């Protein structure tokens, strides 16, 4: 799992600086949207043949780490 974060790239000149998979124009949010729409990992890989199984894992790990912060209640 240690190499998964390296699969997520951010380039200010690509996709508006949004995180992408391995420098491609496939955003992390695109992968997450497909999961949210009910597609399985296998279906996503069929739909986007440039992706690899570890890319899907990397997208989920990225999202998890971005959301894992304390929420302050006033």
Per-residue model confidence as pLDDT tens digits over 6-60: 999 999 999 999 999 999 999 999 999 999 999 999 999 999 999 999 999 999 9
- Helices 28-36 and 53-67 meet at what angle, rounded to 10? 90
CB-CB contact of 21 with 34 (8 Å):
no
Beta bridge partners of 9: 20
H or E segment and range at residue 8:
strand 8-9
pTM of the prediction? 0.88
Phi then psi for residue 50, to 5 deg, are -75, -15
């Amino acid at each position: 799992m240690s190499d998964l974060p390296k699969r997520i790239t951010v380039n200010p000149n690509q996709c508006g600086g949004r995180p992408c998979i391995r420098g491609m124009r496939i955003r992390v949010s695109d992968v997450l949207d497909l999961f949210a729409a009910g597609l399985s990992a296998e279906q996503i890989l069929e739909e986007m043949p440039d992706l690899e199984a570890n890319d899907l894992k990397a997208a989920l790990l990225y999202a998890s780490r971005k959301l894992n912060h304390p929420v302050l209640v006033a």
